[in-house]
């Protein structure tokens, strides 16, 4: 049995998979925001609850909003900033009494969707997280691409490409810079840009009902997403781009973004497919389970 945990900014989820990939158990609780010790406790509690339900133990893989630094062995690049500088893999191994494997949450999502999800059969896949934060993962020929710095696919902390004057210098980011893609394309970034604090699904419903302000906010979002993904296509040229995270549920993105990105892609035509996730909210946690 393989257990996966997806440690998100707002929720933490655990799933247990059989050897055939069948879901045996799934649980979700609010994340312990702001507290490292409480985060450890939440993950431990979820794993124990799954194992008690099924009456057996399993391997544990965990997707986190950041990564373990190869240089220090500590968490870096996490928008859940209370994790930064912590030996999360070692502390979880101590709490659970077994080795654990950690990977970036976007990497877990990309691996899941490339393996048996929307990107199955595609030679190259870029998996995108559009949620509390913005991340990405690269899969080529079924293998997750990492790198010596463990940051492959971290497009959320590149600057927004081809910015307008109104977009400079851009919102401040927790990483210490301004104008990162994440500050524009995350859920909080979209809510801040619109100005009323409405969530993406509320904005989409308002735009569908004819609200001009909501439509204008979503059009700006789509234009920015098209530019950001065009820069990925220019660099990596993936066969498929798969969106995950809460904002991926906006169906209009899959029509409007490809209609916009050709302007910035350095090609006479663009055949890259933009797809919703086959496994939906389960993709990240499934990928974490498959780390073993």
pLDDT at 206 over 80: yes
Q: Are 246 and 215 in contact (CB under 8 A)?
A: no
pLDDT at 281 over 80: no
Q: Are 181 and 134 in contact (CB under 8 A)?
A: yes
Residue 160: DSSP 8-state:
P
**pLDDT, position 176:** 93
pTM for the full predicted model? 0.88
Q: How far apart are CA 233 and CA 238, in angstroms?
A: 6
- Would you call 12 helix, strand, or coil by DSSP? strand
Q: How far apart are CA 128 and CA 255, in angstroms?
A: 17
**pLDDT, position 73:** 96
Question: What are 263's two structure tokens?
Answer: 């302007």
Beta strands in the chain (DSSP E): 2-7, 11-17, 23-30, 59-64, 67-68, 75-76, 100-104, 124-130, 134-140, 143-144, 240-244, 273-275
The full set of domains in the chain, from first to last, is: 2-107+282-289 (3.30.420.40), 120-276 (3.30.420.40)
Tokens 């919102």, residue located: 171
pLDDT at 152 over 90: yes
**pLDDT, position 21:** 82
**pLDDT, position 126:** 98
- Would you call 63 helix, strand, or coil by DSSP? strand
**How high is the mean pLDDT of the chain?**
94
**pLDDT, position 280:** 85
């Amino acid at each position: 049995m393989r257990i996966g945990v997806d440690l998100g900014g707002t929720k933490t989820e655990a799933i247990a998979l059989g050897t055939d990939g069948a879901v045996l158990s799934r649980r979700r609780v609010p994340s312990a925001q702001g507290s490292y010790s409480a985060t450890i406790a939440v993950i431990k509690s979820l794993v124990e609850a799954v194992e008690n339900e099924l009456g057996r133990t399993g391997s544990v893989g965990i997707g986190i909003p950041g990564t373990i630094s190869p240089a220090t062995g500590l968490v870096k690049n996490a928008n859940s900033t209370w994790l930064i500088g912590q030996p999360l893999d070692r502390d979880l191994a101590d709490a659970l009494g077994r080795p654990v494997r950690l990977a970036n949450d976007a990497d877990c999502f990309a691996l899941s969707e490339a393996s048996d999800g929307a990107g199955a059969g595609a030679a190259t896949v870029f998996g995108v997280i559009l949620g509390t934060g913005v991340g990405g993962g690269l899969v080529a020929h079924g293998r997750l691409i990492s790198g010596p710095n463990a940051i492959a696919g971290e497009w959320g902390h590149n600057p927004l490409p081809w910015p307008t004057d109104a977009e400079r210098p851009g919102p401040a980011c927790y990483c210490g810079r301004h104008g990162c893609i994440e500050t524009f394309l995350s859920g909080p970034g979209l809510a801040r840009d619109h100005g009323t604090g409405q969530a993406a699904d509320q904005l989409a419903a308002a735009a569908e009902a004819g609200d001009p302000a909501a439509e204008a906010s979503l059009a700006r979002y789509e234009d920015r997403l098209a530019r950001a993904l065009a820069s990925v296509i220019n660099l990596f040229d993936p066969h498929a781009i798969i969106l995950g995270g809460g904002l991926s549920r906006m169906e209009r993105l899959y029509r409007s973004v490809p209609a916009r990105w050709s302007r910035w892609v350095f090609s006479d035509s663009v055949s890259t497919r933009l797809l919703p996730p086959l496994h939906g909210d389960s993709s990240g946690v499934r990928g974490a389970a498959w780390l073993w």
